[in-house]
Amino acid sequence: MRQREESGRTNRVTPHTSRSLWEILRANVFTLFNGIVGGLFVLLLVLGEWRDALFGFSALTNAAVGVVQEYRAKRSLDRLALLSAARATVVRDGVELQIERHRVVGDDLLILRTGDQVPADAGVVEAHGLSVDESMLTGESAPVHKQPGDELLAGSSVVTGSGRAVVSRVGEGSFAARLAGEARAFSLVRSEIRDSINRVLRVVAWALGPVALVVVNGQMQAAGGWQTAIESGAWRPALVGAAGAVIAMVPLGLVLLASVAFTVGMVRLARHGVLAQELPAVEGLARVDLVCFDKTGTLTDGDVEFDAAHELTDDHGWRQVLASFAADEDANITARSLGDAFPGAGVSPTLRIAFSSDRKWSAHVHAAGDPLAGSWVLGAPELVLAGRRDPRSRAALAECAAHATAGLRVLLLARAHDEIAEPAAGAEPLLPAGLRPQVIVTLRERIRPDAAETVAYFRAEGVGLLIISGDDPRTAAAVARRVGIDAPDGFDARDLPDDPAELRTALERHQVFGRVAPAQKRDMVEALRSAGHVVAMTGDGVNDILALKAADIGIAMNTAAPATRAVARLVLLDGRFSRLPVVVAEGRRVIANIERVSKLYLSKTVYSVLIAVGFGALLWGYPFLPRQLSVLDGISIGLPGFVLAFLPNTRRYLPGFLRRTLGFAVPAGAVIAFAMLAIGLAAHLHGATADEARTASSVVLAVLALWVLNVLLRPLDIRRVGLLIVAHLALVLALVIPLVSDFLQWAMPSAAMLWWMSGSALAGIVGLEAVVRWSLRPPRSAGPSRRSSAGSTAPPRTPGTG
């Protein structure tokens, strides 16, 4: 093995779960807007106006904060991903070992069992009912049966059976290496939120040039015309004013805060034992209105205990048969739970047919001459005895139904004297004729202590719950009732219609579905999504993979098979169902706060553009110095924006982020811009000096910008009121401290200007309150119905500012 490691034949692949330090630096520093800001910063330094270049330090701080935050998150998430990494089982020197997947080397002998993910490309040397899901690689959802000599691809997962395989290609040489790298690559969120922000930024970028020309021309004309301004040197303050106008239009902090909010959200989830494997999961969490989950592993803890065996025959050979089912290395969790009640290895059969979640039974075949000769089938009663109408079968099924209604998991062991023929490659085995029920086995499941509380949370939040289980629907319904879900009965998924419209109707009418096949789980999730729901799907079994991939958010438990964890966007590392409320609440907080921060920053962008265009068109001098805007932005937007991004917020996100954001930002920005034009008009009417006009404009702008902050912080509480007090106090100090006042060139306006300032500020506040009322008007269409956990329909919440 050491020689193979030294020769490079290891399974180590360069991890891509997060960006490298260089990628983080490039994404946070080398951006279009940082380039524009850097160019203007250099221009002002060349002009000798270093005091007006403060925005450069602000941009540098923003980039530094983004790099530090993301790098800290990278280290935290990489450590967590390493701790939750899947392992592989290999045979070395005749000893079976469990090792990290990256330690697999060429020519290792792999042991593969149901639920395992193939760690490297390998050739099958032994197969017992082995079938794998290669959909992650090939897109083909149907399991592929494997025989000795067939090839296994890294990244595929064992659906049924077991086998052994010799590793042929490892690491970067495996078929899945490139695909896995692309799938695992860290990327900024490709979502409605980020796409909307990028659309706005593209518009702003295109507008910067024309607006800058309008401002420069206005400044030059205000200084007496281009020729006079150039001859007199007035072109220098003209360029300074243009730089201020351009900087004011750039929403630098918005991109930073959006990225930091997503990243911090992932870190917070990690602290709660939740690994977010993809950033889009954070946005999806905020939008979830329906959670689908399997009963086992969520409402129950996944463990089953033997309850009782109810004999239906005098043939006591069934005890040995159950012992052999329990001892089978390919047995599922349910069969293994029989081991305590029926210890020992039992009697070895001549043929084993592994359990399949599609057919829901397994079988052992004993050759003629054996006391147990014939076929023994263990599985779901109604499937094992499907089509049988004899009195004994009907009585057995009736007794099974009674146990299932009481909330017990029920298995039936039946025997036929005919032997099941070993199926050909790719074919499914068929039940033998003449099956007769031998014994009913009942099992108990333990309800999770936090299940009822979690269900109550989702009901209070208007999030629907749907149980999609492979168990008997009556058993699933009984468990659901025990945790507070109003489910009078369960629906047998075998009766679900194939028509998508009829399927959606059935899903709206029932909450508990049993005997659901893996492909049906996927179809059900897709039908719910087509009906307008945002669906989260939880699961821990290989049979949940297709549904997890189809859901908006796939959530895997810590006990999930490696293949299941690989396709999930979230992994509950401690397997606690009660983590889901924390997960949903964190997603809502992040997205709702990003929306509020976006309104704050884009309001500034709108009024900055309108002020620049308005003053430039009127040939008035730009009413601010860059240094004044830098201080005002820090007081009313910069620091408050950071606080705003991380405040508690439980509002569920709904589609329409850009419409809602611009629906507030455009009219709010227009109100502030008109107030600034009023101050500019007053300055011209009363002959105010440039410093007086700038001071009056700065004060009114600060008051109205802080009122926008007030609006977006509602409903107010102690923390939010404290933030407003700090921001207003900072403004007062900037006005009254002589050193700061002199640096910013404040000048006391005349009495007439003070009246105009008061009137403009008051009119602006009234206008902003009108904007708030208009932006909170009820939408014309309520959109798709949202099923509550009790099965009723609840209208979506009206999107507000808080």
What are 101-140's pLDDT values in tens digits?
778 888 889 999 887 888 888 999 998 878 887 755 554 5
The pLDDT-based confidence of 355 (bands split at 50, 70, 90) is: confident
CA 219 to each of CA 208, 225, 801: distance values in angstroms, whole numbers, following the listed order: 16, 9, 38
CA 19 to each of CA 82, 187, 338: distance values in angstroms, whole numbers, following the listed order: 15, 8, 47
Q: Where are the domains of the chain?
A: 192-268+585-775, 274-299+448-580
The pLDDT-based confidence of 760 (bands split at 50, 70, 90) is: very high
Strand partners, 42: none
The pLDDT-based confidence of 79 (bands split at 50, 70, 90) is: low
Model confidence, pTM: 0.66
Average pLDDT (332-350) is 82
pLDDT, position 780: 55
Statement: residue 9 has pLDDT above 50: yes
**Higher-confidence residue: 634 or 440?**
440
310 contacts 442 by C-beta, under 8 angstroms: yes
Task: Report, as residue numbers or ranges, the catalytic residues.
Answer: 294
Considering the domain 274-299+448-580, what is its CATH architecture? 3-Layer(aba) Sandwich (3.40)
* Percent of residues in the chain assigned helix, strand, coil, to nearest 5: 55, 15, 30
703 contacts 758 by C-beta, under 8 angstroms: no
User: Looking at residue 298, what DSSP letter applies?
Assistant: I
The pLDDT-based confidence of 671 (bands split at 50, 70, 90) is: very high
Q: What percent of the chain has pLDDT over 90?
A: 22
**Higher-confidence residue: 453 or 82?**
453
Average pLDDT (268-293) is 79
Strand partners, 97: 90
Cis amide linkage into residue 715, ω under 30° from 0: yes
Statement: residue 2 has pLDDT above 70: no
> Which of these ranges, 94-108, 605-619, 723-737, 768-782, has the smallest mean pLDDT?
768-782
**Higher-confidence residue: 386 or 191?**
386
Statement: residue 536 has pLDDT above 60: yes
Statement: residue 690 has pLDDT above 90: no
- Give SS3 for 145: strand
Statement: residue 674 has pLDDT above 90: yes
The pLDDT-based confidence of 758 (bands split at 50, 70, 90) is: very high
Average pLDDT (228-255) is 75
Statement: residue 791 has pLDDT above 50: no
Give the count of alpha carbons within 13 A of 652, CB side only: 19
Per residue in 129-186, pLDDT (tens digit) is 788 877 555 545 557 788 898 888 887 778 778 899 999 888 766 665 554 444 333 3
pLDDT, position 292: 92
CB < 8 Å & 24+ apart, contacts of 3-8: 4/105, 4/106, 4/107, 5/105
Pairwise CA distance, residues 791 & 477, whole Å: 14
704 contacts 678 by C-beta, under 8 angstroms: no
The pLDDT-based confidence of 32 (bands split at 50, 70, 90) is: low
277 contacts 570 by C-beta, under 8 angstroms: yes
> Which residues, 6+ apart, have CB-to-CB distance to 686 below 8 Å?
750, 752, 753, 756
pLDDT, position 524: 93
Question: Token pair 């790099």 is at which residue?
Answer: 67
Q: What percent of the chain has pLDDT over 70?
A: 82
Considering the domain 192-268+585-775, what is its CATH architecture? Up-down Bundle (1.20)
Q: Is 387 exposed, middle or buried (0-12, 13-18, 19+ CB in 10 A)?
A: exposed
Pairwise CA distance, residues 274 & 583, whole Å: 8
pLDDT, position 123: 92
**Higher-confidence residue: 61 or 662?**
662
- The per-residue pLDDT of the chain, averaged, comes to 80
pLDDT, position 360: 85
> Which of these ranges, 254-258, 442-446, 752-756, has the smallest mean pLDDT?
254-258
The pLDDT-based confidence of 543 (bands split at 50, 70, 90) is: low
pLDDT, position 475: 83
Average pLDDT (266-287) is 76
Question: Which one, of 701, 709, 589, 735, lies nearest residue 637 by Cα?
Answer: 709
Question: Which one, of 729, 606, 721, 726, lies nearest residue 668 by Cα?
Answer: 606
The pLDDT-based confidence of 59 (bands split at 50, 70, 90) is: low
> Which of these ranges, 365-369, 600-604, 647-651, 769-773, has the smallest mean pLDDT?
647-651
pLDDT, position 179: 44
pLDDT, position 129: 76
The pLDDT-based confidence of 796 (bands split at 50, 70, 90) is: very low
> Which residues, 6+ apart, have CB-to-CB distance to 12 below 8 Å?
102, 171
- What is the per-residue DSSP string for 715-782? SP-HHHHHHHHHHHHHHHHHHH-HHHHHHTT--PPPHHHHHHHHHHHHHHHHHHHHHHHHHTSPPS--
420, amino acid identity: I
Statement: residue 58 has pLDDT above 50: yes
771 contacts 628 by C-beta, under 8 angstroms: no
The pLDDT-based confidence of 415 (bands split at 50, 70, 90) is: very high
- Give SS3 for 317: coil
Average pLDDT (339-347) is 81
pLDDT, position 793: 34
Highest mean pLDDT out of 78-82, 107-111, 460-464: 107-111
